[in-house]
Structure 1
Amino acid sequence: MSTSSSIGTTCQAASHAQPKSLAQQLIAATSKKARSAAILMLADGTVFYGRACGASGEVTGEVCFNTSLEGYFEVITDPSYAGQIVTMTYPQIGNYGVNVADTQMAPQYPQMYCGNLSPALRGLVVHDMCETPSNWRSEMSLPEYLEERNIVAIEGIDTRALVRHLRDNGSQKGILSTIDLDEKSLAAKLAEAPELVGTNLVQTVSCKEAYSYSYGRSMKSRAFAVQEPAPARRNVVVYDCGIKRGILDGLVNAGCAPTLVPWNTPASEVLKLQPDGVFLSNGPGDPDAVDATYSQVKKLLGKVPVFGICLGHQMISLACGGSIEKLKYGHRGGNQPVMNLLSGRVEVTAQNHGFNLVFPSLGELISEESGGVSKHPVSGDLRFWSERRIAPVVRNKRFGRIRLTHVNLNDGTCEGIQLLDAKAFSVQYHPEASPGPTDAHYLFTAFMRLMDGEEDYLNIDISKDRLAGWVFGSEEKEAHNA
């Protein structure tokens, strides 16, 4: 069995995971308390030892990492993390506790969702778990929440070494256990665990039947920071592929009245509702496995305005005949720079995805609409276009002209497209800031403008729009507009 060179330091944690009697007494007298040993093993044989800091148990899933400095509770409750063991790169997690109203699971989850009240992720990995939070909104500690919701978690490992390993070798299957510490036994179990690629995880987090959404307890608990939403003036059907509640709130804030439908709802049923627009939500797993959604999107494009976020972006891409690739370790965190090629603005964005559209697969470039360029960059790096401030257009066999609108400035991957001959656009990232920056709030406004029939709906001054809906931004916004 192979073991990475970084494990020498993490193996030292084994002695802490099984302390001597005196050490146990000392730990029991602190806020940390006495915790049982835990182990994380990756598919390539890399092993990390630590301490349990959540529920007792054993889980398998894809091990990935999130680079957000805050918002751990929103990350943990994001349905898009179904099937994954999430590593938080920030050293201490849980310091401001948990307010259950901040959950990103949709409000109808107990009645209409598959499963139970537990978050969809498989497990959590942190360096240091805070047992004694300090925050006036906190209702319980994070370890208490994890135990209550049966989420297995590990602390005390070198998360820097783990993240470096995943960056070098890619995200991979892992097994996290507090009940079996035998490496041979764990390796055998891990070999039998299913792969993420090819698995439809959307069906595990989508609603079972249609329902309407409106503000609930979550928004009331944040009235000190969030203004009342705009009056609803557009009826929007939402394909629920595991939607975050923050995205639903973003739609409501912009003036939408959302009706959520299951992930495999036929397009004919959606059109019977006579929506002003259709929204395609975020969601977990391999987009190629969600054919029951993108096959219906193909029937909706050109008939009704469509906006897609994250998995929804991939659904539009697949409906257009595009190819999706699995990224080496994905984009997960609240600090990803993206350029809007139409406005030239750079947004700091929140992201959570492991798959990405291969933009050239949508069609050949239209030279006269792509700055005179007739061939896609050989490297595949889309920063070619951001450096030249060009939003290139391809000719798609199914839906006419499609424009590249957003590019990731870290690695040059596609972050957004716009169908020019059908009313539709999509982005790969999360604009609702749950958690994350507010730079991309303008996309909900853009959706309203698309439904209103505006041509240049994506060209919005984000320095103004990012303050919309926030109480703390009112004075700054008034000063900006003066």
Structure 2
Amino acid sequence: MASTTKGDCGPAILLLADGTVFYGRACGAAGTATGEVCFNTSLEGYFEVLTDPSYAGQIVTMTYPQIGNYGIDPADVQSAFPGDIHRAPATPALRGMVVRDMCRTPSNWRSTLSVPEYLEQQGIVGIEGVDTRALVQHLRDHGAQMGIVSTEEFDLAVLADKLAAAPQLVGENLVQTVSCFKPHSFTADDLPAEHEFAFSACATRRAPYRVVAYDCGVKRGILEGLVRAGCSLTVVPWNTPASEVLSVNPDGVFLSNGPGDPDAVEETYAQVQELLGKVPVFGICLGHQMISLAAGAQIEKLKFGHRGGNQPVMNLLTRRVEITAQNHGFGLVFPSLGALVPELSGGVAAHPANGDLRFWVERGIAPVVENERFGRIRLTHVNLNDGTAEGVQLLDHPAFSVQYHPEASPGPTDAHYLFTAFTRLMDGEPDYLNIDIASDRLHGWSF
């Protein structure tokens, strides 16, 4: 191995909580790490995955067989800010990485270092040579589960003891480990010059929309998407009181993505309860779950979650299918929001017994429930793979949310229109979600 591009790499091991073992080679930092083992189905964008704060507490398996072939450009980092704004500046939040084949000799004009070099620099344990098809199939059959990866300990009994003593993902507030700890601005001046070759000039407006963005582990690409839509952002910590937000009289409030169990982030959704109805609100991913919890809904842990840049979602309002970028392991139980309003739900009076929301896709209906706290709430988006809820709209208050990421870092641009929808909501347009996503999907790109 020393005479190949792989170099003189040592052995590594991955042990799952159910006792399943995978052996491979080290391709990152030396050490031992525990976390929930999950998988991402993206064909590209591994660096954005590496630096997405939503992966805090997880060991990520990439399903694409070769990772690292185009290297890394630090300009693509998704951890929002360096310096004294975040508790762990520029450090990836994930615990480990699992791949089939790791490329150590990248070829790309933007690349400045390889993925193995980056993992070693950042102290992230990596393992390659794993049969990732078998691992992903196992996780799909048995569900995402805790695991331990090591390049220094190979005694299964010792590894099992360490894994048993590790903190669980459910019930742990990981948002507080990745959020900023003081407010800061993000404007057009903060857009990376390295990306100018791909984008046209961002939207200009005589008076930019003044938006307060809750940082629950926000990706930088999402902030950039908001700015390009015409927003000037004040980014605040995850537990900022609603009274402080309302005191600055913003045009809107944005609730970001973030890691872990949403039920453990009570200090955020308690603030959302106070914000809804008083200011336009847009939430994505964890922000979608925060709105749902604020409305008294139930959140469930999905068997193996949605992670990747190729998740099909039906927009029930436009009847168009969006290919979306997603990263979450929990989801909204839509019936828990309230009873159906038959006259607004195609005459249907009862939620489908099996909980599969593709029931509404087949009928071409965007159903509405009556919520005890916030009135009428409409289901707007459904995942076509498993029939779970992907978006809701409050009809009696200016607020909407989606479970996925609209900014294509990494992933497609089909859901870009949601940034525009947020600005239309702040402008008071009643039909703000009625946007032709086919014409909008490439908006802002220069090629």
Instruction: Please state how far the C-alpha of 1:252 moved relative to its aligned partner.
Output: 0.3
**CA pair 347-55 structure 1, distance change in 2 beyond 3 A:** same
Q: Which runs of 4+ in 1 moved over 4 A?
A: 215-218
Q: Deviations over 1:246-266 (max 9, x none)?
A: 100110010000100000000
**Corresponding residue for residue 367 of structure 1:** 342
| Contact 2:215-2:238 at 8 Å conserved across structures | yes
Which of these residues, 258, 261, 267, is aligned with residue 233 of structure 2? 258
Counterparts of residues 54-133 of structure 1 (less than 5 Å): 54-107=28-81, 109-133=82-106
Instruction: Please state how far the C-alpha of 1:317 moved relative to its aligned partner.
Output: 0.1
| Contact 2:191-2:224 at 8 Å conserved across structures | no
| Contact 2:188-2:228 at 8 Å conserved across structures | no
**Corresponding residue for residue 250 of structure 2:** 275
- CA distance, structure 2, for counterparts of residue 116 and residue 469 of structure 1: 29
| Contact 2:311-2:383 at 8 Å conserved across structures | yes
**Corresponding residue for residue 323 of structure 1:** 298
| Contact 1:241-1:281 at 8 Å conserved across structures | yes
Q: Deviations over 1:105-139 (max 9, x none)?
A: 103x3321112431000000000000000000001
Which region of structure 1 is more displaced relative to structure 2, 227-236 or 183-192?
227-236
**Corresponding residue for residue 355 of structure 1:** 330
Which of these residues, 374, 381, 386, is aligned with residue 411 of structure 1? 386
- CA distance, structure 1, for counterparts of residue 125 and residue 89 of structure 2: 16
Which of these residues, 286, 307, 313, is aligned with residue 261 of structure 2? 286
- CA distance, structure 1, for counterparts of residue 187 and residue 432 of structure 2: 25
> Percent identity between the aligned chains?
72
- CA distance, structure 2, for counterparts of residue 384 and residue 112 of structure 1: 45
| Contact 2:188-2:232 at 8 Å conserved across structures | no
| Contact 1:393-1:401 at 8 Å conserved across structures | yes
The answer as to 2:116 corresponding to 1:143 is yes
| Contact 2:299-2:332 at 8 Å conserved across structures | yes
Instruction: Please state how far the C-alpha of 1:404 moved relative to its aligned partner.
Output: 0.2
- CA distance, structure 1, for counterparts of residue 434 and residue 388 of structure 2: 21
| Contact 1:101-1:218 at 8 Å conserved across structures | no
Which of these residues, 387, 397, 404, is aligned with residue 372 of structure 2? 397
Instruction: Please state how far the C-alpha of 1:181 moved relative to its aligned partner.
Output: 1.0
Q: Secondary structure at the match of 1:221?
A: helix
**CA pair 93-250 structure 1, distance change in 2 beyond 3 A:** same
The answer as to 2:29 corresponding to 1:49 is no
Which region of structure 1 is more displaced relative to structure 2, 346-355 or 216-225?
216-225
Letter in 1 for 2:60: V
- CA distance, structure 1, for counterparts of residue 315 and residue 229 of structure 2: 20
Instruction: Please state how far the C-alpha of 1:34 moved relative to its aligned partner.
Output: 1.1
User: TM (normalized to structure 1)?
Assistant: 0.91
Letter in 2 for 1:99: D
- CA distance, structure 1, for counterparts of residue 134 and residue 248 of structure 2: 51
Letter in 1 for 2:249: Q
Counterparts of residues 16-55 of structure 1 (less than 5 Å): 27-55=1-29
| Contact 1:102-1:218 at 8 Å conserved across structures | no
Q: Secondary structure at the match of 2:192?
A: helix
Instruction: Please state how far the C-alpha of 1:467 moved relative to its aligned partner.
Output: 1.3
**Corresponding residue for residue 210 of structure 1:** 183
- CA distance, structure 2, for counterparts of residue 450 and residue 215 of structure 1: 21
**Corresponding residue for residue 427 of structure 2:** 452
- CA distance, structure 2, for counterparts of residue 235 and residue 328 of structure 1: 38
User: TM (normalized to structure 2)?
Assistant: 0.99
The answer as to 2:199 corresponding to 1:220 is no
Aligned-residue CA RMSD in angstroms? 0.9
| Contact 1:53-1:143 at 8 Å conserved across structures | yes
Q: Secondary structure at the match of 1:360?
A: helix
Larger Rg: 1
**Corresponding residue for residue 379 of structure 1:** 354
- CA distance, structure 2, for counterparts of residue 361 and residue 426 of structure 1: 16
Letter in 2 for 1:469: G
Q: Deviations over 1:53-99 (max 9, x none)?
A: 00001110000000000000000100000000000000000000000
Letter in 1 for 2:277: G
Q: Secondary structure at the match of 1:112?
A: coil
**CA pair 455-217 structure 1, distance change in 2 beyond 3 A:** closer
Counterparts of residues 173-192 of structure 1 (less than 5 Å): 173-192=146-165
Q: Deviations over 1:146-204 (max 9, x none)?
A: 11111110001100000000000000000011111111100010011111000000000
Instruction: Please state how far the C-alpha of 1:103 moved relative to its aligned partner.
Output: 0.3
**Corresponding residue for residue 7 of structure 1:** none
Q: Secondary structure at the match of 1:335?
A: strand
Letter in 2 for 1:71: G
Q: Secondary structure at the match of 2:195?
A: coil
- CA distance, structure 2, for counterparts of residue 241 and residue 365 of structure 1: 31
**Corresponding residue for residue 435 of structure 1:** 410
Consecutive unaligned residues of structure 1, counting only runs of 5 or more, are 1-26, 473-482
Q: Secondary structure at the match of 1:54?
A: coil
**Corresponding residue for residue 17 of structure 1:** none
Letter in 1 for 2:194: S
Instruction: Please state how far the C-alpha of 1:218 moved relative to its aligned partner.
Output: 6.1
Instruction: Please state how far the C-alpha of 1:216 moved relative to its aligned partner.
Output: 6.0
Q: Secondary structure at the match of 1:426?
A: strand
- CA distance, structure 1, for counterparts of residue 407 and residue 14 of structure 2: 32
Instruction: Please state how far the C-alpha of 1:214 moved relative to its aligned partner.
Output: 2.5
Letter in 2 for 1:432: E
- CA distance, structure 2, for counterparts of residue 229 and residue 259 of structure 1: 18
Instruction: Please state how far the C-alpha of 1:229 moved relative to its aligned partner.
Output: 1.1
| Contact 1:101-1:217 at 8 Å conserved across structures | no
Relative to its length, the structure with more helix (as a share) is 1
Consecutive unaligned residues of structure 2, counting only runs of 5 or more, are none
| Contact 1:417-1:425 at 8 Å conserved across structures | yes
The answer as to 2:136 corresponding to 1:163 is yes
- CA distance, structure 1, for counterparts of residue 369 and residue 158 of structure 2: 52
Which region of structure 1 is more displaced relative to structure 2, 442-451 or 226-235?
226-235
- CA distance, structure 2, for counterparts of residue 117 and residue 459 of structure 1: 38
| Contact 1:62-1:84 at 8 Å conserved across structures | yes
**Corresponding residue for residue 314 of structure 2:** 339
- CA distance, structure 2, for counterparts of residue 215 and residue 332 of structure 1: 29
